[in-house]
Amino acid sequence: MSADSDALHTVQQLPGLTPGEQQYLLAVARGEGFYGLGWGNPPQPGLIADQTHALGLTGTEGAGSNNWGAVQGVGSNGSFPHLDHSADGSPYKGIFKRYLTPVEGAADVAKVLLKSNVRAAIAKGDLRGAVYAQHDNRYFELAPDKYLAAVKKNYDILTDNLKWPILLTLTPPTIGETIAAHPLVSGFLSPDWEPSSSGELSEVLDAADRYLEDDDGKV
């Protein structure tokens, strides 16, 4: 079996995950060290290698760690050092968890990754929303759009390799769907409606703007 199919078999052993959550976990873990298999690959000559060596590291310290999500800390089998970067791009020596088994590593990253706001976005099939929720939870410091591009690329590769049903997309709701989700009358808000949050109001007003910008006037 391929690494992707092996990883799918692993996450299917985790209790309580929906198919969409399994897919999202795999798309993230594929990019965060290739299901723990990528830690043994030394960095190619260049900036990353230079930064790694400047910290006194080889870049292969995480081989066999079963760390699926670049999860930092001390795991059931200890820890290992590896290059990481702060929000401003400064390199530092991070301490990452080492696990006894792939299932254990996958379970830990699922616990860290699949917070309630991420799961809510996944339940809607919203890949972008899941990534931005993940960023809100401080899982990563990279610009969200850059992280989203990486997750989407891996999701597409997994879709091609595993032939799974597409449960997560970047396609936003249509204007008609957005308007239907709110009590609107022709072209504007009903007089008795009040937003439950500033975010909801912004969503409705953005939908109205997009509608008005449509040359055909079609929702």
In tens, the pLDDT along 109-143 reads 999 999 999 999 999 999 999 999 999 998 887 88
Q: Are 184 and 204 in contact (CB under 8 A)?
A: yes
Q: Which of 121, 139, 162 finishes a domain? A: 162
Within-domain flag for 124: yes
Element (H, E) at 11: helix 3-11
Dihedral (CA of 110, 115, 121, 124) sign? positive
Three-class secondary structure of residue 91 per DSSP: strand
Tally of domains within the chain: 2
Q: Say what the pLDDT of residue 87 is.
A: 78
In this structure, are 158 and 181 located in the same domain?
no
Three-class secondary structure of residue 26 per DSSP: helix
Within-domain flag for 186: yes
In this structure, are 145 and 197 located in the same domain?
no
Range of the domain at 103: 3-162
Within-domain flag for 218: no
CA nearest 16: which of 82, 161, 114, 94?
A: 114
Q: Are 93 and 84 in contact (CB under 8 A)?
A: yes
Q: Say what the pLDDT of residue 114 is.
A: 96
In this structure, are 39 and 62 located in the same domain?
yes
Q: Say what the pLDDT of residue 202 is.
A: 59
Q: Say what the pLDDT of residue 132 is.
A: 94
Choice between 41 and 23, residue whose per-residue pLDDT is larger: 23
In this structure, are 101 and 193 located in the same domain?
no
In this structure, are 58 and 87 located in the same domain?
yes
In this structure, are 92 and 194 located in the same domain?
no
Within-domain flag for 43: yes
Q: Are 219 and 179 in contact (CB under 8 A)?
A: yes
Q: Say what the pLDDT of residue 66 is.
A: 95
Within-domain flag for 219: no
In this structure, are 153 and 203 located in the same domain?
no
Report yes or no on whether pTM surpasses 0.85. no
Within-domain flag for 168: no
| Mean pLDDT value across residues 68-93 | 92
48: tokens are 């990353």
Within-domain flag for 170: no
Distance of CA 112 to the CA centre of its chain: 11
Q: Which residues pair with 180 in a beta bridge?
A: none
Q: Say what the pLDDT of residue 196 is.
A: 52
In this structure, are 145 and 185 located in the same domain?
no
Q: What percent of the chain has pLDDT over 70?
A: 77
In this structure, are 155 and 181 located in the same domain?
no
* pLDDT tens digits for range 15-27: 999 999 999 999 9
Q: Which of 120, 141, 162 finishes a domain? A: 162
Within 8 A by CB and 6+ apart from 1, the residues are 9
* pLDDT tens digits for range 148-192: 999 999 999 999 999 999 999 986 544 544 444 444 433 444 444
Within-domain flag for 169: no
In this structure, are 127 and 95 located in the same domain?
yes
In this structure, are 112 and 38 located in the same domain?
yes
Q: Say what the pLDDT of residue 185 is.
A: 38
In this structure, are 124 and 197 located in the same domain?
no
